[in-house]
Amino acid sequence: MVFPASNLAKKAASRLKFPQLFAVIVVLFVFDLFVPDLIPFVDEILLGLAAALFGMWREKVATPVEEKPATKNVTPTP
């Protein structure tokens, strides 16, 4: 059974530059939310920012280059 959310996640991950690294950081972030630490929320904030950074880092999509029409040279030559 395929869930619509999984298709959406696969489509979004296919546009990322480093989808595996993004997934690892998100898993670490979720795991870190449940582990107690000495300084509260510092590592959660850093992992959240790293996940946001890698989530915004997308592949550059090649855009077709429009060619200019050829111009006729009407400058008189000596």
Per-residue pLDDT of the chain (78 residues; tens, 9 = 90+): 566 767 777 777 777 777 787 788 788 878 877 877 777 778 778 888 888 887 787 666 666 667 777 777 778 877
The pLDDT of residue 61: 62
Count how many domains the chain has: 1
What's the CA gap between 70 and 47, in Å, rounded? 53
Total count of residues recorded for the chain:
78
In a domain, 7, yes or no: no
Q: Which residues pair with 58 in a beta bridge?
A: 16
Domain for residue 78, yes or no?
no
Instruction: Please check whether residue 44 lies inside any domain of the structure.
Output: yes
Predicted pLDDT at 59? 65
Is the residue at 76 inside a domain? no
Q: How far is Cα 47 from Cα 15, in angstroms, rounded to an integer?
A: 21
11 in any annotated domain: no
Residues spanned by the domain of 48: 16-56
